[in-house]
Structure 1
Amino acid sequence: MSFLGKVRKKALQAYSRIVLPESTDERVLRATAEILKEKLARPVLIGNAERIALDAKAYEISLEGAKIVDPEKFERMDEYAHKFAEMRAKKGMTYEKAKEILTTDVNFLGAMLVKMGDADGMVSGSLSPTANVLRAGIQVIGTKPGVKTVSSVFVMELTQKQDLFGNILLFGDCSVIPRPTSEQLADIATSAAETAQSIAGINPRVALLTFSTKGSANHECVDLVKDAGAILRARKVGFRFDDELQADAAIVKSIGEIKAPLSDVSGNANVLIFPTLAAGNIGYKLVQRLAGANAYGPIIQGLASPINDLSRGCSAEDIVVLTAVTSAQACAMCGVED
C-alpha cells in the first residue's frame, strides 16, 4: 500500500477533529470540502460564519459538517484567555493581552482549541510563515513529556529503485533547527523513529549522517554526530541506529559492507538524520526533484499534540494530505492502533 493509502486508512479510523484556522484561504475551504467528502477528519474552521458560507457558495462547494469557531462570538473565549494568561504568566502575559492574541491570531486560537480539548490537532501555514505556526504550537501546546526538541521529517516515497532502497525513507530535520546540538540530533532521531513506526508504518533503521564513516575523517562536525550516537546509546533507545555514516554507506548495501561492516544499519537505513538543516533541506529537495520522489511534509515532531505546517505555496490537495497525516498522528498519540 502506498504511503498515502496508509495515511488515509489511519485517518479514516481516527476521524480526528483537526483545526484549519486559515478560513479566508480558498485552498483551505476547498480542502475542507474534500476532507468532509472523504471523511478523513472532522474539520474545525476559524472565522466569520457568514463570510465562510458566502465563500463556499462562490466556490460552489459544501462545507456541511464543518465546525466553525468565530473568535468574536466564541462562548469559551474568556475561559481560553484566562488559561492562556495563566500558562504564560511568567512571560508577563495578562488576561487582556491573551484575549487580544486569541481574537486576532488564528494560529494561537487554533492551538488553544487543541490544548483545551476542543480539537485533536491543527494544520496551518498556507497564509502564515512557519515561525508563526511553530510559535503557537510551542507556546500553547508545548513538547511531549520527556522531549525537549521540536523538529520535522519529510516522508520520501520513492518512485525509482525501490528494489535497492525500499519504498519509504524519512529525512530529518528539514525545516526547524538550523544547527542542532548533539542532544537535539538524538532527540530528532528518536522522534523520527517514532514517526516512521506510527505514521509511515515501517520498522526504523536510523542513520546519523555526516561526511565521515567510522573514523575516515576527523572534525568537530563529525564529533557532534558521534556524540549524538553516544547519547542514544546512553538512553538505551529501542530502535536500531548507528552514527557517523556517510549517505552512501547508510543506504547502499555494497558500500556499507566496505565502509562500516560492523554497523547494524549500514547499507539498509531508512531514516536519515542530517547534521544540519541546510543539509536536510537540500537533500530532500534534490531527491524530490532529481529522483522524482514524492515528498510529504514537513511533519512536525516533538509537540504534545500534532500541529503541522503547510508551505505557503501549497495546493488544496497538500492540505488534505497533511490533514490526514495530522489525524493519524493524533490517533497514534492517543494510543489507538490499526
Structure 2
Amino acid sequence: MAKFLDKISERAKILNKTIVLPESEDIRTIQAAVKATERGVAKIILIGKEAAIKELAGDLDLSGITIIDPETYENKDKYINAFYELRKHKGISMENAAEVMKDYMYFGVMMVKLDEANGMVAGASHSSSDTLRPALQIVKTAPDAALASAFFIISVPDCEYGSEGTFLFADSGMVEMPSVEDVANIAIISAKTFELLVQDEPKVAMLSYSTYGSAKSPLTEKTIASTKLAKEMAPDLLIDGELQVDAAVVPAVGAKKCPGSPVAGQANVFIFPDLNCGNIAYKIAQRLAKAEAYGPITQGLAKPINDLSRGCSDEDIVGAVAITCVQSAAQDK
C-alpha cells in the first residue's frame, strides 16, 4: 500500500499550485523548498533577502524557486493598503500596516489573500499562535465554516484498523476548550477533510472515557450532546458516540458494546473532547506506535494556511506543502 504522503504528493503534482514558505531563515525550509521543487510537488516562493537565503542554502540548487523580499517587492504598497483596509477598524494606521508587512509571516499570508500564492506553510521556527494569528486576521474563516480548527493525519504502520491504518485526529492543535457546538462542527468538517485527503468514507467517533452511557458525568454529557448535535446537523454522515477508543476501532469490542452502531469497530476519524486529549493522543500514537503524523493542518480557513511542529523535518514540510495544494484545489471548486 502506498503511503498516505506518497498518494498526496502524486495528487499535488498535477495541480500546479504555488505555495509560500516564509521561514527562509531556517535551513529546513530551504531544504524543503528544494525538494518540493525538484519533485514537482508545487511551485515554491521563499520570503526573505536573496543574499541571506543563498548564503544559508550553500550548495543547494535554488533554481526554479522564487525569492521575494517584502521590503523591495514591487507590489508592496498593494499589500500595505490591503492590510490597512482589513485592520483599520482596529485602529491601525498606514504606518503600522507598513511595519506589519515587513513581517515575513504576515507578508506570506497576504500573498495568499491576494491570490499571488495558493497557500502557505509555516511553523518550523514560529509558535502556532504566531503562525495562525496572521491567518485569522487576514484570510479569516471560510464562509461556510463555524470556526477554524486543526487536525493530524495519523498513519500507523501494519495496522488493521481505520482506513488501512490511517486516521484523522481533531482537534489536536488549535481549539483549546471547544463548546458542544464547536465539537459538533469540528466533527463535521473533519469528516469532509478526511474524505478529501484520504479518499475514503469517514466514520466519525466522538471519543470519551465512556461508551453509550457506561459512565455519567458532565464530561460524558458534553460528548453525548456534541454527538446528538452533529448528527442533526449532518444526518448523512456516519457519526456516533460517546465511544471509548477500543469500542471505536476494534470490531469485536464495538459489536459487543455498541451493537448496531454504524461507526463502532470501524472508526477512522477521532474527535476529542478538548485539545489536551487530542494533542496527547497524537503524540502517543506518533512516539509509541511509530505512526507517521502529518500536521497540525488547519481546516475552516478561507484559504489554506498550515502550521508545522517546531520539531518538524524538511520532509514534514514537503508533506505539508502537498496537503496544502490538495486543500487549495478543493476550495477552487
Confirm or deny that 1:185 pairs with 2:183: yes
Q: Distance in 1 between matches of 2:153 and 2:298?
A: 11
Cα shift at 1:166: 2.7
Q: Give a deviation string over 1:226-253, Cα, whole Å, max 9, x none.
A: 1212222232353211121111111111
User: What corresponds to 2:36 in structure 1?
Assistant: 35
Q: How does 1:249-268 map to 2 (within 5 A)?
A: 249-268=247-266
Q: Distance in 2 between matches of 1:252 and 1:162?
A: 9
Cα shift at 1:197: 1.0
Q: Distance in 2 between matches of 1:84 and 1:325?
A: 27
Decide whether the 8 Å contact of 1:260 with 1:266 is kept in 2. yes
Structure 1 portions without partners, runs of 5+:
none
Q: How does 1:151-300 map to 2 (within 5 A)?
A: 151-162=149-160, 166-300=164-298
Q: Distance in 2 between matches of 1:43 and 1:203?
A: 32
Q: Distance in 1 between matches of 2:236 and 2:33?
A: 38
User: What corresponds to 2:60 in structure 1?
Assistant: 61
Q: Distance in 2 between matches of 1:124 and 1:144?
A: 20
User: What corresponds to 2:4 in structure 1?
Assistant: 3
Q: Distance in 2 between matches of 1:314 and 1:283?
A: 18
User: What corresponds to 1:79 in structure 2?
Assistant: 78
Decide whether the 8 Å contact of 1:21 with 1:110 is kept in 2. yes
User: What corresponds to 1:23 in structure 2?
Assistant: 24
Decide whether the 8 Å contact of 2:162 with 2:266 is kept in 1. no
- Identity across aligned pairs (percent)? 39
Q: How does 1:103-122 map to 2 (within 5 A)?
A: 103=102, 105-122=103-120
Confirm or deny that 1:70 pairs with 2:69: yes
Q: Distance in 2 between matches of 1:164 and 1:274?
A: 16
User: What corresponds to 2:98 in structure 1?
Assistant: 99
When the two structures are superposed, what TM-score results if normalisation uses the length of structure 2? 0.96
Decide whether the 8 Å contact of 1:165 with 1:251 is kept in 2. no
> What do you get for the CA RMSD once the two structures are aligned?
1.5
Q: Per the alignment, do residues 236 and 194 of structure 1 end up closer, same or farther by CA in structure 2, a change over 3 Å counting?
A: closer
| 3-state SS in 1 of match to 2:200 | coil
Q: Mean Cα displacement is larger for which, 146-155 or 159-168?
A: 159-168
Confirm or deny that 1:149 pairs with 2:147: yes
Q: Give a deviation string over 1:192-233, Cα, whole Å, max 9, x none.
A: 111111112221000111111111111111121112122222
Cα shift at 1:310: 1.3
User: What corresponds to 2:319 in structure 1?
Assistant: 321
Q: Distance in 1 between matches of 2:281 and 2:164?
A: 17
Decide whether the 8 Å contact of 1:160 with 1:291 is kept in 2. no
Q: Distance in 1 between matches of 2:94 and 2:27?
A: 33
Cα shift at 1:165: 6.7
When the two structures are superposed, what TM-score results if normalisation uses the length of structure 1? 0.94
Query: Counterpart amino acid of 1:210?
Result: S
Q: Per the alignment, do residues 199 and 159 of structure 1 end up closer, same or farther by CA in structure 2, a change over 3 Å counting?
A: same
Structure 2 portions without partners, runs of 5+:
none
Q: Give a deviation string over 1:110-145, Cα, whole Å, max 9, x none.
A: 000000010000001111111000101111111111
Q: Distance in 2 between matches of 1:64 and 1:116?
A: 25
Query: Counterpart amino acid of 2:35?
Result: E
Decide whether the 8 Å contact of 1:242 with 1:265 is kept in 2. yes
Q: Per the alignment, do residues 61 and 237 of structure 1 end up closer, same or farther by CA in structure 2, a change over 3 Å counting?
A: farther
Q: Distance in 2 between matches of 1:49 and 1:287?
A: 40
Decide whether the 8 Å contact of 2:161 with 2:249 is kept in 1. no
Q: Per the alignment, do residues 309 and 96 of structure 1 end up closer, same or farther by CA in structure 2, a change over 3 Å counting?
A: same
Decide whether the 8 Å contact of 1:176 with 1:277 is kept in 2. yes
Q: Give a deviation string over 1:8-63, Cα, whole Å, max 9, x none.
A: 1111011211000011111111111111100100101111122223333x2x1111
Q: Per the alignment, do residues 299 and 163 of structure 1 end up closer, same or farther by CA in structure 2, a change over 3 Å counting?
A: closer
Q: Give a deviation string over 1:57-110, Cα, whole Å, max 9, x none.
A: x2x11111111211111111111111111111221122211111011x111110
| 3-state SS in 1 of match to 2:224 | helix
Q: Distance in 2 between matches of 1:45 and 1:230?
A: 45
